[in-house]
Amino acid sequence: MTRSPGGYRVSVRQDLRPAPLSGAALKGFVLAALGCLRAESADVRVRVVGDAAIARWNRDFLGRPWPTNVLSFPDADQPSPGGKSVSGDIVVSAPTCLSQTQGWRETAEGRVFFFVLHGMLHLAGYDHEAGGAQARRMRRKELHLYRRVLAERATEGRGGHS
Instruction: Kindly report, residue by residue over 77-103, the tens digit of the pLDDT.
Output: 766 666 578 999 999 999 999 999 999
* CB 46 within 8 Å of CB 30: yes
Which backbone phi and psi does 65 adopt, to 5 degrees? -85, 55
Strands 70-74 and 85-93: antiparallel
Q: Which of 32, 34, 46 is nearest to 112 (CA)?
A: 46
Give the pLDDT confidence score for residue 79 in this predicted structure. 64
CATH of domain 2-156: 3.40.390.30
pTM for the full predicted model: 0.89
Asked whether residue 162 carries a pLDDT value surpassing 60, the answer given is no
Percent of the chain with pLDDT over 90: 72
Q: Using CA atoms, how far apart are residues 118 and 138, in angstroms rounded to an integer?
A: 9
Asked whether residue 3 carries a pLDDT value surpassing 80, the answer given is no
